[in-house]
Amino acid sequence: MNGLSLTGITHAYDGRAVVLDASLGAPAGKLTCLLGPSGCGKTTLLRIAAGLEIVQHGRVALGERVLADGDDRRHVPPEERGIGLMFQDHALFPHLTVFENITFGLSDPAPGRLQWAREALARAGMAGFADAYPHTLSGGQQQRVALLRALAPEPRVLLLDEPFSDLDVNLRLQVREETLGLLEETGVTTLMVTHDPEEAMFMADHIAVMNEGRIIQAGAPKEIYFRPADRFVAALFGQVNRFAGVVEGGRVHTPVGTFAAPGLADGRQAHVIVRPEGLRLALAGANGPSADDPAPERNATPARIISAHLLGRSSHVHLGAAGPDGAEIVLHAHVPGVFLPETGALVSVSVDERQVFVFADE
């Protein structure tokens, strides 16, 4: 059985295009994350998949069944698509109990699905809340109920729109893990919209990165992280160090060293992105990174500590280093564990080249 596919989707509101020739596949039985910043068009694409928006240009199919086609004006109504949708705000019915909310979409509920609903509530740790009303539940409990309601009719595809955005950080981690376990247990094909790269990396079998209405890159999480297609994707995972230079002898010189520029001709202007976790720091006079570290490192650069802050599992360090014109530039580094040298302390900076990305100046 094939999954959900959207092909060549273009959509506009009041003449302003918000989705531009976007194609996306959600493989059967897998979880696909549509990842991008707010306003990039990802929720519109999800609404088109659900049938809440009529396709203007392009095609939506579930396996071999065409659900919508902008060319021949075909449009299967949302309730006939076999697709479940969980909204960002959960949208629970306030006048219905938890159990009634979950079973609401079952027009003629079979005993087996009613039993599934009871068992699913128990697995979610909410067996005692079947007769409760939504306003008595916490945000995490409401999220669980909304998910079970979307799964109750056994949809072929489940669409999730920023499902964890309203939860606090600690609860988000817990509910996210519970949700992933439930989705893996049911085996339902899932397309989830998120603006959180860490969430996408944790949840997804497959990630599609979207920006300004276009799908920029799609692939496995590891591919997206280690082989970004452009500067936008490379910088998607947080603050980065950016440098500009000219390709000479197949390499680009930066204040933290020279790096290979495969595929770029000499004389070409290039942009170099170095992720903060790619900078390795050692206090001046101390031993540098271990010689048996498998990371390809080179280009030791002197720098001074501007500030260091402990984030818990890692330390965020601001550094000052000499720029190309002699003026000081600021570097950002993430160091595992506790690394809190005094302001002004001298360090040696080396680079893990797996976290360096060179792109042509567009």
CB 26 within 8 A of CB 190: yes
- In order of their start, the domains of the chain are 4-234 (3.40.50.300), 241-360 (2.40.50.100)
User: What is the model's pLDDT at position 291?
Assistant: 35
Report residue 121's pLDDT band, with 50, 70 and 90 as the boundaries.
very high
pLDDT digits (tens, 9 = 90+) for 331-341: 999 999 999 99
With a cut of 50, say whether residue 293 has pLDDT above it: no
Phi/psi at 32 (5° precision): -110, 130
Which residue is listed with tokens 């989830």? 192
One-letter amino acid of 22: A
93, 85, 87: which is closest to 135 by C-alpha?
Answer: 93
CB 357 within 8 A of CB 278: no
pLDDT digits (tens, 9 = 90+) for 147-196: 999 999 999 999 999 998 888 888 888 889 999 999 999 999 999 999 99
With a cut of 70, say whether residue 294 has pLDDT above it: no
User: What is the model's pLDDT at position 287?
Assistant: 53
User: What is the model's pLDDT at position 295?
Assistant: 45
Rounded CA-CA distance 34/31 in Å is: 10
Report residue 299's pLDDT band, with 50, 70 and 90 as the boundaries.
low
Select the more confidently predicted residue: 293 or 51: 51
With a cut of 80, say whether residue 362 has pLDDT above it: no
Select the more confidently predicted residue: 291 or 98: 98
Rounded CA-CA distance 241/227 in Å is: 17
User: What is the model's pLDDT at position 289?
Assistant: 43
Q: Mapping DSSP to helix (H, G, I), strand (E, B) and coil, where does residue 17 land?
A: strand
Rounded CA-CA distance 355/270 in Å is: 16
- Average the pLDDT over 309-324 and give the result: 93
Rounded CA-CA distance 260/106 in Å is: 58
- Proportion of the chain above pLDDT 70, given as a percent: 95
Report residue 296's pLDDT band, with 50, 70 and 90 as the boundaries.
very low
Report residue 298's pLDDT band, with 50, 70 and 90 as the boundaries.
low
- The pTM of this model reads 0.88
pLDDT digits (tens, 9 = 90+) for 234-286: 999 889 999 999 999 999 999 999 999 999 999 999 999 999 999 999 997 66
- The 10 Å Cβ neighbour count of residue 346 is 12
Mean predicted lDDT score pLDDT of the chain: 91
pLDDT digits (tens, 9 = 90+) for 217-242: 999 999 999 999 999 999 998 899 99
Structure tokens at 319: 């550094």
DSSP notation for 182-226: HHHHHT-EEEEEES-HHHHHHH-SEEEEEETTEEEEEE-HHHHHH
- Average the pLDDT over 95-117 and give the result: 87
- Proportion of the chain above pLDDT 90, given as a percent: 79
Where do runs of H (alpha helix) occur along 187-304? 197-203, 221-226, 231-234
